[in-house]
Amino acid sequence: MKNVANPKAAFYTLGCKVNQNETEALGALFKEHAYQVVDFDEVADVYIINTCTVTHLGDRKSRQVIRRAINTNPEALIVVTGCYAQTSPGELEQISGVDLIVGTRDRARIVDLIQEHKKGKKPVTHVSNILTVSDFEELPVDRLINRTRAFLKVQEGCEQFCTYCIIPYARGPSRSRSIENTLLEANKLTAAGFKEIILTGIHLGAYGKDLPNKVDLVYLCKQLLEQTNIERLRLGSIEPTEIVDELISLMKENPRFCRDLHIPLQNGDDEILKQMHRPYTTKDFRDIVKKIRDKIPDIGISSDIMVGFPGEEQNNFASSLSFVKEIGFMGLHVFKYSPRKGTPASKFPAQVSSQEKEKRSKAMLELAEQGFKSFATNYLGETLDVLVETAWPQGGWEGHTDNNLRVVFSGEGEKGIIVPIKLKALEKNYVQGEPNYSRN
């Protein structure tokens, strides 16, 4: 029985997988402090909104969600954290009803900060200079139950300073979780029943650069595969220049290492890549994808693409489109360029109009759909292992194959088991199938 006197906390996450991991970790922390975690639409005593600022839409959605919480319970303590809180605390202080602003640091102390704070005072901003931080803040996530996939943050921050990107200013320099702590955490997750670990980071490929003994991401993955019983290990986003031969071999040889790579291309035109300060050309990208596919034919490769970067003329966009088509990604996130204050590109001339960005985004999204379809079609009639992640409210189950196909099936299922599914029909962004234990 739950103690009804326990204060209630409700969470909302905007943005990336790192944010999702951090919110989960914060939820666990609140539970440890005797809070009851409730749905965001319920009346709670504390609302924690983990914000995103990667584009202006992140800012806008973050503000909308904050207002929603204030409307649900004007008496509640409203706590705003994450990237938008880190970069623009002043904008958040303007929202009447916001009580506490905590950036991307000191979140292990968030419960104490809340307990020190009383509703009704002026908003308190607890945001420190992130650019000088060198420690990796540990936030354990293993207490969560009834989950199948866990995002495990092993790296924080980024020092690439791509000309469009605000994230280095929101997250600070690159720093890594130690191998020992990552293994401890992964073993706890496995013991708690998780079947899949997805390694995440702001710049995952920079893993280990700040650690002693020259460890890197490949070493970390090897250790995780050897020293834990996790059934599946998956990588978050990784830069094209960081996909080394050893990583490809490990993925090819170890069936527990999911054949799935998210490689952000950002643009398919060399001139634009240069303006973005991306450290590769389309030729480099084509070569690395070819090398990966030659070794691992079934690999699922997805990407992020930006349209409407300043200076992207019709001819640049045309080459971007044709390059994306040539590569053929099984998944594509399309971003309309959004000028971020303080970044070099926001001051570049030749900004692209929003109508034009909209048009280009639509064209790119069509390629996204085509890319998914042509990849998924290869597997119709085949039987692949699917990790069951969620029950559909209208009946049926949903999960992913190791090469990241989203699969829905009806029949016998159970969260957290791996089921052989014969793939039967394509939907817009998933594949329908049915259990096939005889694998015929």
Binding-site ranges for ligand 5AD (CB under 6 A): 54-55, 164-165, 264, 266, 304, 306, 335, 337-338, 340
**Helix/strand/coil for 155:** strand
- Tokens representing 409? 């099936």
C-beta closer to ligand 5AD: residue 162 or 386: 162
C-beta closer to ligand 5AD: residue 56 or 290: 56
C-beta closer to ligand 5AD: residue 23 or 351: 351
The residue written with tokens 């958040």 in the block is: 92
Which residues make beta-bridge pairs with 77? Answer: 46
CA dist 106 and 163 (Å) reads 28
C-beta closer to ligand 5AD: residue 321 or 388: 321
C-beta closer to ligand 5AD: residue 167 or 408: 167
CA dist 63 and 71 (Å) reads 12
CA dist 155 and 187 (Å) reads 18
- Containing 315, the helix (H) or strand (E) segment is helix 314-327
Shortest Å, Cβ 218 to ligand 5AD: 22
Q: Which residue is nearest to ligand 5AD (CB)?
A: 335
C-beta closer to ligand 5AD: residue 346 or 410: 346
- Listed in sequence order, the residues at least 6 apart from 288 whose beta carbon sits closer than 8 Å to its beta carbon are 240, 243, 263
Please, which contacts does 406-412 make with residues 24 or more away whose CB atoms are closer than 8 Å? 406/430, 406/431, 407/431, 407/432, 407/433, 408/432, 408/433, 409/433, 409/434, 409/435, 410/434, 411/435
Shortest Å, Cβ 337 to ligand 5AD: 5
C-beta closer to ligand 5AD: residue 9 or 327: 327
Shortest Å, Cβ 334 to ligand 5AD: 9
Shortest Å, Cβ 340 to ligand 5AD: 5
Shortest Å, Cβ 164 to ligand 5AD: 4
Give the residue among 271, 347, 341, 356 at the shortest CA–CA distance from 307: 356
Shortest Å, Cβ 234 to ligand 5AD: 17
Shortest Å, Cβ 341 to ligand 5AD: 10
